[in-house]
Structure 1
Amino acid sequence: MTSTEMTAEVLRAHAEEAFAGELAALAAQDERPRPARWRLSPWAVATYLLGGELPDGTVITPKYVGPRRIVEVAITTLATDRALLLLGVPGTAKTWVSEHLAAAISGDSTLLVQGTAGTAEEAVRYGWNYAQLLANGPSREALVPSPVLRAMADGKIARVEELTRIPADVQDSLITVLSEKTLPIPELNGETQAVRGFNLIATANDRDRGVNELSSALRRRFNTVVLPLPATLDEEVEIVTRRVGQLGRALELPELPGGAQEIRRVVTVFRELRDGVTTDGRTKVKTPTGTLSTAEAISVVTAGLALAAHFGDGVLRAGEVAAGVLGAVVRDPVADQVVWREYVEGVLRERDGWQDFYRAARELSE
């Protein structure tokens, strides 16, 4: 099986595989200066993320919809000796941006540490192959490098997801890496020094439970870029529409009629409940306990597509997305249920052209 066939078979290809054609087209026409070991120039990386058309007519699809300056600051940070911290509420595409930055710069987005409360220091530094360690003692062959250590040795971008979920003492093991660009290995009486091209992208949010604040020493090693929620309804609709289309193709779901209308409805509901006011600014509404992120809106619509394709009549309707909206809104079965019912009866009931959505939402709430 060829690499192309293998990529087509996997459920979700890495960014450098899914967008290999765009990356190759950018590299072929990119004549701007590139930092050491970068596959593309900073300008080409920005074009890859934000989209555009190349001189030969190749269309580069946007990977991130948002302020250009935010993307430019993130990219130029990685071209310096400062690490990059992408900060934002859940669902603001931190992981998505992190993956695509690594794919465009290093051609490898897989050097990843997933932060959890159980992440050990070995995941950030190194571990040991204990069979070889017991047989031959400490050696380079017995050492199991972390993704961070591999990135240092190869001059690539390492990624740390959910940095603030990692215990504080494990977080601080990054301080020497980021400040001295070296990782001591006392068991071998040696060290690994980072080569040119190495840097690190971390993501974090400050709304989830189980957050461990970064020490001031570690925070100083990062340049922080805050990723905002989509500024307008149309911008968020565009993001959801594009990602639902990509996911639908990956899952081999058909393109169904009615998708554009239901996407706009889902995004409208999410934004109104998230902002605490209707889009016309006339009616205040209570906000639920959940974040109602763009990522959740994408999941709701994708699930609706699957329902319509497999159990419906081939048209995406209000009934297919209302259940997903309810599940996203009602996280606390008591407080959020009150919020949802008041919104359904106080806002959706009187909204022109929404009677089918209102009926579906009301039936689910009973």
Structure 2
Amino acid sequence: MTVSVQTDAAGGEALRPHAEHAFADELKALAAADDRPRPARWKLSPWAVSTYLLGGTLPDGTLITPKYVGPRRLVEVAVTTLATDRALLLLGVPGTAKTWVSEHLAAAVSGDSTLLVQGTAGTPEEAVRYGWNYAQLLAQGPSREALVPSPVMRAMAEGMTARVEELTRIPADVQDALITILSEKTLPVPELGQEVQAVRGFNLVATANDRDRGVNELSSALRRRFNTVVLPLPATPEAEVDIVSRRVAQIGRSLDLPPAPDGMTEIRRVVTVFRELRDGITTDGRTKLKSPSGTLSTAEAISVVTGGLALAAHFGDGVLRPGDVAAGIRGAVVRDPTADRVVWQEYVETVVRERDGWKDFYRACREAAE
């Protein structure tokens, strides 16, 4: 049973509210202003869902904050896919906001982002299909009362959007349980001689990447059931700085961290370091660099800056400085203690040391390595 209560045991606010609760005012304003056709059981029209993801200003002046900063056409294709009988696969390297986009899509389309299957190497078939209450099963035998529906089964029965995170981490035989669901839109329950048929409004959003460890390739049969949208890394430094600053501000508010004066300087610095090491070349194109083993994603940049903000708030004067982010950057870069340490040391000595205006950051990096 899913309990959608956005408070903790002591009655306080949830640390991370679901999207439909965190942005309830925006969704309500969009629904009120939305006069376009809506697919069956959708809370908003495709146009309104795209506006919710990309941001905009409504006729009454309500500001809709961007949830995703990226190509508009990708979002429009993703939303349109959910309005058809094709499932949606969001593909990209780690840190390209796949989970973030899938959650907000489900929140805007169905008003509920909690029908979620989290993929891991140990995800059983029951998580995708259904399980059993074994006490009732032993006492009464197979029955509808003893059956425990999966989030996917619930979404089928209620005409809602289900989510499968990290699809390629799920074992191949469990992945294939989705084939009948996505092609026939039905889920057989042979123990009861019954089946659950998907009602209009049902669809599924899955996320996957093929650059992480522990990946199980999707079969061609399963891939054909999805329309794939590839989410790219931010195209420009400015776009990535915008994403990082927005998310850090949101996370900081949820953690009651004070805004950091002049924090943009260090955010730009973190983004610059990550992009240069990720691309294997400095921003000016003059120096080729070795890339570390990690992905250095935008999500990791957000984590580094958030950690630095907490350090500045609790152990500093509240101003985000190079020393607050240097250790976090080093920790993100040096994943392999041997090879990555060399990559980082070379970058610090050949790039950071010689860059104008980065002397304070150079000193902080040297101190963090001691």
Alpha-carbon distance, 1:145 to partner: 0.2
Aligned to 2:151: 147
Q: Could you list the per-position Cα deviations for residues 115-165 of structure 1 after superposition, in whole angstroms to 9, with x for gaps in the alignment?
A: 000000000000000111111111111000000000000000000000000
The CA distance in 2 between the partners of 1:122 and 1:319, in whole Å, is: 48
The CA distance in 1 between the partners of 2:11 and 2:50, in whole Å, is: 25
Matches within 5 A, 1:79-98: 79-98=83-102
Aligned to 2:45: 41
2:140 corresponds to 1:136: yes
Aligned to 1:160: 164
Q: Could you list the per-position Cα deviations for residues 281-335 of structure 1 after superposition, in whole angstroms to 9, with x for gaps in the alignment?
A: 1111110000000000000000000001001121110000000000000000010
SS in structure 1 of the partner of residue 195 of structure 2? strand
SS in structure 2 of the partner of residue 257 of structure 1? coil
The CA distance in 1 between the partners of 2:87 and 2:287, in whole Å, is: 43
Aligned to 2:361: 357
- What amino acid maps onto 2:159 in structure 1? G
The CA distance in 2 between the partners of 1:147 and 1:6, in whole Å, is: 28
Aligned to 2:348: 344
Tell me the TM-score normalised to structure 1 length.
0.98
Say if 1:263 and 1:159 are closer, same or farther in 2 by CA, change over 3 A.
Answer: same
SS in structure 2 of the partner of residue 236 of structure 1? helix
Matches within 5 A, 1:45-124: 45-124=49-128
The CA distance in 2 between the partners of 1:136 and 1:254, in whole Å, is: 57
Aligned to 1:169: 173
Contact 2:7–2:13 (8 Å) recurs in 1: no
The CA distance in 2 between the partners of 1:5 and 1:138, in whole Å, is: 35
Alpha-carbon distance, 1:365 to partner: 2.3
The number of equivalent residue pairs is 366
The CA distance in 2 between the partners of 1:359 and 1:214, in whole Å, is: 47
Matches within 5 A, 1:11-22: 11-22=15-26
Aligned to 1:203: 207
Say if 1:171 and 1:4 are closer, same or farther in 2 by CA, change over 3 A.
Answer: closer
Match of 1:278 among 253, 276, 282: 282
The CA distance in 1 between the partners of 2:155 and 2:232, in whole Å, is: 28
Aligned to 1:335: 339
Tell me the TM-score normalised to structure 2 length.
0.97
Say if 1:5 and 1:53 are closer, same or farther in 2 by CA, change over 3 A.
Answer: farther
The CA distance in 2 between the partners of 1:326 and 1:7, in whole Å, is: 38
Contact 2:53–2:68 (8 Å) recurs in 1: yes
Alpha-carbon distance, 1:2 to partner: 9.3
The CA distance in 2 between the partners of 1:341 and 1:203, in whole Å, is: 35
The CA distance in 2 between the partners of 1:8 and 1:240, in whole Å, is: 27
List, as ranges, runs of 4+ consecutive aligned residues in structure 1 with deviation greater than 3 Å.
1-8
Please list every run of 5 or more consecutive structure 1 residues that lacks an aligned counterpart in the other structure: none
SS in structure 1 of the partner of residue 162 of structure 2? strand
Aligned to 1:182: 186
Contact 1:7–1:18 (8 Å) recurs in 2: no
Matches within 5 A, 1:175-254: 175-254=179-258
Aligned to 1:304: 308
User: Alignment identity in percent?
Assistant: 82
